[in-house]
Amino acid sequence: MEDKECLLCCEPLDIFSIGLWNHSIICYRCTLKSRLKLDNNKCPLCNEMLNEIIISDQHNIKFQHHDINRLLTYGKGIYCSSQAVKQ
């Protein structure tokens, strides 16, 4: 993967969040802060509501290609692609 940074905090984008609109340029830290602390479930890019998001390190897989039923649940519509990502 090329060096990418979170659009919000500029930290490395090794683990990111992805939602229905497939915007994968927000890190998991900013996503969790927004959803859990600020109770904001909107995409920070397009301002559309995201009922479910996936925290992942797999940059080549779009949201629609994940099977939500096989992912690990974090709570509040947040899913993780693996146990390593969840920790």
Instruction: Specify if 75 maps to a domain.
Output: yes
Residues 86, 57 contacting (CB under 8 angstroms) = no
At 1 the pLDDT is 47
How wide is the angle at C-alpha 31 spanned by C-alphas 29 and 35, nearest 5°? 120
pTM summary value: 0.91
**Does a structural domain hold residue 26?**
yes
49 is a domain residue: yes
Instruction: Write out the chain's pLDDT in tens, 87 residues.
Output: 456 899 999 999 999 999 999 999 999 999 999 999 999 999 989 999 999 999 999 989 999 999 999 999 999 999 999 998 988
- What pLDDT, on the 0 to 100 scale, is given for residue 86? 86
What's phi and psi for 75, nearest 5 deg? 115, 160
Q: So what's the pLDDT on residue 12?
A: 94
pLDDT given at position 87: 80
Torsion 87-47-24-30 (CA) sign: negative
Note the pLDDT of residue 2. 58
Number of domains in the chain: 1
At residue 14, the pLDDT reads 93
Report residue 17 as tokens.
């969040």
Residue 6 lies in a domain: no
Provide the domain limits for residue 43: 16-86
Q: What is the DSSP letter of 38?
A: S
Does 24 reside within a domain? yes
4 part of a folded domain: no
Chain-centroid distance of CA 57 in Å reads 9
Query: Does a structural domain hold residue 1?
Result: no
- 11: in domain: no
